[in-house]
């Protein structure tokens, strides 16, 4: 059986899994990683963001948990194959802070990436950009009802682009690479950080900015990125077919850049 739960000291009890503030109140800071043939791209960036999340939400010192998380990751280690890894922290109803690591086989489902505009408009949130918590209900509900797309794009009340349901977004417009600046509704994604580092190192023109939805009327290319799926090129936005030519020229260089991060 490839699907497993890991923790360092003791086995997780059913009570600990169920009776926590994550289930009751949504307090579940987590990060999702891809383990590919024993390697995890950007592990230290994932750990750094997890530290910020845990310390911000639970007011504890993450250093008390860092080595335990890493030991548990070693228990989940697989030299061959691709695996979905999720590290989740939670607080029990009695106030204890703990974590578990979930591992499962990951198989990428290759299909045309059709991006549609969500019917939901996001407002200003108190959740900072670095805080990743597990609540995708609204996204899942809408996506299950849509027949015109298989991924959703979110904007705010001023028509500024935020992100997709599970990914950050990059836009090629007039030979410039754009991505929404970090603010309410935009996650500080690890793969986003890695891609920005790569573009900077290679001296490509890019800009973090507030981007109006109208920019997509003339955009030639759109990329979505997250820690599990990496970089995916959008095939179509609404009814408009998009190119993949820029990413095709960058892909090999980017993969070699990521290899150095292992």
The whole-number mean pLDDT for each consecutive block of 10 residues of the chain, a chain of 262 residues, reads 64 69 89 94 95 96 95 92 94 88 88 95 90 90 96 97 96 93 93 96 93 96 96 96 96 92 78
Q: Which CATH architecture has domain 4-105?
A: 2-Layer Sandwich (3.30)
Contact 138, 121 (CB under 8 A): no
CA distance readout (Å), 175 to 112, 115, 187, 245, 249: 24, 21, 25, 11, 13
User: Which helix (DSSP H) or strand (DSSP E) does residue 52 occupy?
Assistant: helix 43-58
pLDDT at 145: 96
Specify the domain boundaries for CATH 3.20.10.10 within the chain: 114-261
pLDDT at 109: 80
For 114-261, CATH number out of 3.20.20.140, 3.30.1490.190, 3.30.9.80, 3.20.10.10 equals 3.20.10.10
Q: Which residues pair with 237 in a beta bridge?
A: 115, 240
CA-based R_g, the chain, Å: 19
pLDDT at 1: 47
């Amino acid at each position: 059986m490839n699907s497993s739960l890991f923790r360092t000291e003791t086995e997780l009890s059913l009570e600990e899994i169920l009776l926590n503030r994550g289930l009751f109140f949504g307090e579940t800071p987590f990060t999702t990683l891809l383990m590919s043939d024993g390697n995890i791209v950007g592990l230290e960036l994932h750990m750094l963001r997890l530290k910020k999340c845990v310390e911000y939400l639970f007011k504890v010192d993450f250093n008390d948990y860092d080595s335990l998380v890493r030991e548990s990751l070693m228990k989940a280690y697989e030299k061959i194959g691709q695996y979905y890894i999720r590290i989740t922290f939670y607080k029990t109803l009695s106030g204890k802070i703990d974590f578990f690591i979930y591992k499962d086989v990951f198989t990428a489902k290759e299909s045309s990436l059709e991006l549609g505009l969500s019917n939901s408009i996001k407002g200003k949130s108190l959740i900072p950009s670095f805080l990743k918590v597990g609540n995708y209900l609204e996204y899942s509900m809408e996506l299950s009802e849509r027949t015109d797309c298989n991924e959703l794009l979110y904007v705010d009340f001023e028509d500024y682009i935020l992100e997709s349901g599970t990914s950050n977004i990059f836009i090629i417009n007039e030979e410039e690479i754009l991505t929404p600046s970090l603010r309410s509704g935009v996650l500080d994604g690890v793969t986003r950080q890695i891609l920005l580092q790569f573009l900077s190192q290679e001296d490509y023109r890019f800009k973090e900015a507030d981007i109006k939805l109208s920019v997509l009327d003339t955009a030639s290319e759109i990329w979505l990125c997250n820690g599990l799926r990496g970089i995916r090129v959008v095939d179509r936005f609404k009814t408009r077919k998009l190119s993949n030519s820029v990413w095709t020229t960058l892909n090999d260089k980017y993969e070699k850049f990521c290899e150095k991060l292992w």
